[in-house]
Amino acid sequence: MLLLNSSLNGGFSYHGLLATTAMAGVTSHLGFFIRGEHHIAAPIIARVYFVLLLAVFFLGIKYLGIYGGSKVAAVVSGVYVASLLSSIITYRKLFHRIRGFPGPYLAGASKLWHLFHVRDSHNHLFLDKLHENTERPTEITIFSPEVVKVADGPNNNCTKAVWYDILIPLTALNTTRDKVHHDQRRRIWNQGFTKKALTDYENRINTYGEALERHIASTTGQPVNVSEWFYFLTFDVMGDFAFARSFKMLEDENWHYAVLMLRRALTLLGPFSSVPWLIQLALSIPIIPVVRDWHTMIKWCSDRMTERIKTKVERQDISSSLINASLNNNSLQQDRFLLDGDSVAMIVAGSDTVASALIYLFRCLALEPAHAKLLRAESLGVDIYDPRALASLDHLNGVINEILRLFPSVQTGGYRQTPPEGLIIAGRFIPGNITVVAPRYTIGRL
């Protein structure tokens, strides 16, 4: 190449430039990327790289003209990326602490391999296929029932992995990675789930359930898209519990625009959850439609929490204990990142998960009508408004437990990080500070 045989004015050769660039790629990996967590800084890192590329481009133009400058920028960036990736792959395949665990070769080289295979958002099915082929993806994915107790059971020493920084700068109860802070926040949440509060919640849920029943009865035997109506039910309930007002989808018999926006926004997580730094990078590019939906959804939840703070309610809801705790501590403004984060968690975790469980439940009952008949026979003469009476129905509770086993609401399972000292799962030592995934969809079917 002509460029490699020429020199910049001042005597600095391209050979020297490219050698320095290659060294910079290796050094940036060994000195920076493998030390600590950098997923949150992904947008900043991308901007820094872009500025450096522009600097090389304009410097090349100054000495070599537009054609030469463009070629310099392309060659330098190519050499840097090649050396960086070479260093990453060499380290991961030959020196990483978990290199000895089995799995597809490319899975151990880059998480982008995983991303490619789950671009259809069916991560749980992909992991299940890997399990059938006795292979494993990049993180240590463990298909053993023992991992559930070790990673998520009482008194476990694991922490939440980097995926849970998804809402930053907001923080929700379920995304808090600091155990001490989580325990403090959990005690505040518990105030919203007293026996008295639960009784009131049950009565309010019954009201929405009756509205759903009236609609189904009004169809006089015509087919009903229960998938939609179960989402109407659960979002109406959680809107009431979170913001003291329903989305009124059961009443309007139509989707609320904010719920549609939220569902579009959540599609971002399907393919990208396996690469947390890529999620952060994507969220910094608001021109992407799904990212625009994400930020609009976050702002909508924040605005609803602002309205809820200003609203005096006669019936307490989940937000009451959260808001009152901040008011009592004179920290309402300082706690907004917590309240806004919790508002997102309540709407998403409280409605989407329940709706999916109901859909799977009725799908299975439609496929197995004998169980529907058993449930009907078991419930005859039972006060369906009495939770204690319902808790005594063995077949009903068995069906619910089976649905949650076969179709868990979080089918891939949460990402956990092992403690610094490591731990032993299924007789195998897992090094410290390693991400562990326990796919509930597969484990529930072993």
Three-state SS letters, the chain:
CHHHHCECCCCCEHHHHHHHHHHHHHHHHHHHHCCCCCCCCHHHHHHHHHHHHHHHHHHHHHHHHHHHHHHHHHHHHHHHHHHHHHHHHHHHHHCCCCCCCCCCCHHHCCHHHHHHHCCCCCHHHHHHHHHHCCCCCCCEECCCCHHHHHHHCCCCCCEECHHHHCCCCCCCHHHCCCHHHHHHHHHHHHHHHCHHHHHHHHHHHHHHHHHHHHHHHHCCCCCCCHHHHHHHHHHHHHHHHHHCCCCCHHHHCCCCHHHHHHHHHHCCHHHHCCCHHHHHHHHCCCCCHHHHHHHHHHHHHHHHHHHHHHCCCCCCCHHHHHHHHHHHCCCCCCCHHHHHHHHHHHHHHHHHHHHHHHHHHHHHHHHCHHHHHHHHHHHCCCCCCCHHHHHCCHHHHHHHHHHHHHCCCCCCCCEEECCCCCEEECCEEECCCCEEECCHHHHCCC
Average pLDDT over residues 145-166: 89
User: Mean of the per-residue pLDDT values for the chain?
Assistant: 86
In whole angstroms, give the CA distance from residue 299 to residue 316. Answer: 24
Q: Is pLDDT above 90 for 348?
A: no
pLDDT tens for residues 127-144? 677 655 544 434 688 888
* Phi, psi (rounded to 5 degrees) for 104: -55, 145
Q: Is pLDDT above 50 for 446?
A: yes
* Phi, psi (rounded to 5 degrees) for 34: -90, 5
Place of tokens 């529907």: 372
- pLDDT at residue 14 in the model: 65
Residue 408's nearest CA partner among 127, 205, 217, 111 is 127
Residue bearing the bigger pLDDT, 154 or 134: 154
For residue 6 the two structure tokens come to 């020429």
Q: Residue 371: which pLDDT band, with cuts at 50, 70 and 90? A: very high
Average pLDDT over residues 8-13: 50
Q: Is pLDDT above 90 for 21?
A: no
Residue bearing the bigger pLDDT, 231 or 105: 231
| CA distances in angstroms from 420 to 29, 417, 423, listed in the order given | 22, 9, 9
Do 102 and 86 touch, CB atoms closer than 8 A?
no
Q: Residue 365: which pLDDT band, with cuts at 50, 70 and 90? A: very high
Beta bridge partner(s), residue 417: 159, 435
- pLDDT at residue 302 in the model: 93
Q: Give the global pTM.
A: 0.77
Residue bearing the bigger pLDDT, 230 or 119: 230
Q: Is pLDDT above 80 for 438?
A: yes
For residue 315 the two structure tokens come to 């019936």
| Max mean pLDDT range (46-55, 135-144, 322-331) | 322-331
Q: Where are the domains of the chain?
A: 2-94, 105-161+414-446
Residue 84's nearest CA partner among 14, 37, 30 is 30
